[in-house]
Structure 1
Amino acid sequence: MNKYLAIALLIVGVSCSKNTPEVSKESNVMLEEPIVKTVDSAAAGKHEGLALIEGADCLTCHKTDARLVGPSYQEVADKYSEADMDYLAEKIIEGGQGVWGQIPMTPHAGMSKENAKKMVEYILTLKK
């Protein structure tokens, strides 16, 4: 009988001591916009727009000089001018589809128009 009692206590002890993993809940909360200080960007010799691009998810789909999922930044710079700055900043914020193909660009609704313009400003410096 002691043998069965010992096994029962062992089972109860093990089952009670297991930590149940915390289930993560899905959320539609936007991640905070990357914060880049002008001083840090200038000190690093980087354009503030490039620092913002590197701090966001842009490089997942875009490269400077080659197509990835979306167009290269050089292609964008060659197609657009400073007159299109507001349009391109809105595209970054709202996302889009159809201009460069059927794969949609993810919206970045949490991004300020000011920071989106800094990104566009940097991209336009890559014009050939």
Structure 2
Amino acid sequence: MKCGVAIVTSTLLIGVLASVVATAACAADAQRGRTVANANACMGCHAVDRKLVGPSFLQIAAKYKGDAQAPAKLALKVKDGGSGVWGMIPMPAHQSMSDADVRAVVDWVLAGAPAK
């Protein structure tokens, strides 16, 4: 094997392995977001694919798609609550949720609330 071919092959292999690790990490993060949402009563007002009291998580992901400020906006909305964006029914504040938990849920929702 020529040295240049070995370097290209090694670089390609490292890239593939990094992609596999990143995919596994994303899947773990997605599961964490869903777990946090379940543990904090988010599912009492929201469903993944249909409106309940509040919008579905898929509706939220669609509304904020491409908005670079969405993670910060939604994290603030989860922490402080509010109303008016989706109607007059207020979303209660979740002040006791840690910033990490809020971010996990927001990231999961913005990713389309994947099951896995």
- Specify the TM-score bucket, using the shorter chain as the normaliser: 0.5 to 0.7
Whole-angstrom CA distance in 2 between matches of 1:46 and 1:122: 5
Deviations 1:84-124 (A, max 9, x none): 10110110010010000000001001112221111011011
Aligned partner of 1:79 among 58, 63, 70: 63
Q: Structure 1 runs of 4+ off > 6 angstroms?
A: none
Whole-angstrom CA distance in 1 between matches of 2:71 and 2:30: 20
TM-score after normalising by structure 1: 0.61
How do residues 36-75 of structure 1 correspond to structure 2 at under 5 angstroms? 42=28, 47-75=31-59
Whole-angstrom CA distance in 2 between matches of 1:121 and 1:46: 8
CA RMSD across the alignment: 2.0
One-letter amino acid matched to 1:124? L
Query: How far apart are 1:46 and its partner, in Å?
Result: 5.7
Bigger relative CO (Cα 8 Å, ≥ 6 apart): 2
Aligned partner of 2:79 among 90, 93, 99: 93
- Corresponding residue pairs, total: 85
**1:114 is aligned to 2:100:** yes
* Percent identity (aligned): 38
Higher helix share: 2
The higher radius of gyration belongs to 1
